[in-house]
């Protein structure tokens, strides 16, 4: 159960912020997950949603590249909600069961497709080490180009921010979402 009331209806916030609420629902259909707690600061929610709309729906990363990055960020932060929300999207985007399983189990990535291995390694290293080695940076740059690498980095950072909010406020996935195995506080 969430540590705070989750905002899911417009009447739960001051009328002056209804435009932000409407903007978020126009791109996502509903208020759920991170936005249900970020709306306790409507300006933060609105600004995060604006960036998220680009990252999720308009960036130059392919759907599978984006979802691999998101799942890796979710796994590295043990964010159950983010995992549960994005695992089905990743599958629908063509990410294989074996890649999803490898990310979920923090498995060895040496046997998966090179492009996926680079993305997973990049996000893992960025989150875990707070930096990316020159060798990995150059591999990712060669794969994605400078714009793509910038968008991959921003995607990882954006989903880390959301995972922090989801984890801090203890927003749990709904019963119908896939489960992330072996997370702290089970």
Predicted local confidence at residue 181, as pLDDT: 81
The span from the CA of 112 to the CA of 117, in Å, is 6
- Which of 59, 85, 62, 58 minimizes the C-alpha distance to 73? 85
The span from the CA of 82 to the CA of 45, in Å, is 16
Look-up: residue for tokens 């040496």? Answer: 110
Predicted local confidence at residue 185, as pLDDT: 58
Where do you find CATH 1.20.1290.10 in the chain? 63-168
Predicted local confidence at residue 92, as pLDDT: 98
The one-digit pLDDT tens for each residue of the chain (186 residues) are 789 999 999 999 999 999 999 999 998 889 999 999 999 999 999 999 999 999 999 999 999 999 999 999 999 999 999 999 999 999 999 999 999 999 999 999 998 999 999 999 999 999 999 999 999 999 999 999 999 999 999 999 999 999 999 999 999 999 999 988 876 655
Predicted local confidence at residue 2, as pLDDT: 85
pTM for the structure as a whole: 0.95
Contacts 24+ apart (CB under 8 A), 16-22: 17/42, 17/46, 20/45, 20/46, 20/49
Q: Is the dihedral of CA 171, 71, 110, 152 positive or negative?
A: negative
29 phi and psi angles, rounded to 5 deg: 90, -30
DSSP state of 28: H
The architecture CATH gives domain 63-168: Up-down Bundle (1.20)
139 phi and psi angles, rounded to 5 deg: -60, -45
Predicted local confidence at residue 177, as pLDDT: 92
């Amino acid at each position: 159960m969430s540590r705070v009331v989750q905002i899911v209806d417009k009447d739960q916030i001051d009328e002056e912020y209804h435009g932000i609420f409407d903007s978020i629902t126009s791109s996502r259909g509903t208020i759920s997950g991170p936005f249900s707690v970020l709306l306790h600061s409507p300006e933060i929610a609105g600004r995060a949603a604006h960036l998220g709309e680009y990252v999720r729906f308009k960036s130059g990363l392919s759907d599978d590249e984006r979802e691999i990055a998101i799942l890796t960020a979710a796994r590295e932060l043990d964010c159950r909600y983010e995992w549960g929300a994005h695992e089905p999207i990743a599958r629908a985007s063509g990410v294989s069961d074996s890649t999803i399983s490898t990310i979920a189990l923090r498995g060895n990535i040496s046997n998966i497709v090179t492009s996926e291995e680079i993305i997973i390694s990049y996000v893992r290293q960025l989150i875990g080490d707070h930096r990316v080695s020159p060798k990995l940076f150059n591999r990712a740059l060669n794969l994605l180009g400078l714009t793509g690498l910038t968008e991959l980095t921003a995607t990882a950072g954006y989903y880390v921010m959301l995972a922090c909010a989801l984890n801090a406020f203890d927003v749990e996935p709904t019963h119908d979402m896939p489960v992330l195995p072996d997370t702290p506080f089970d």
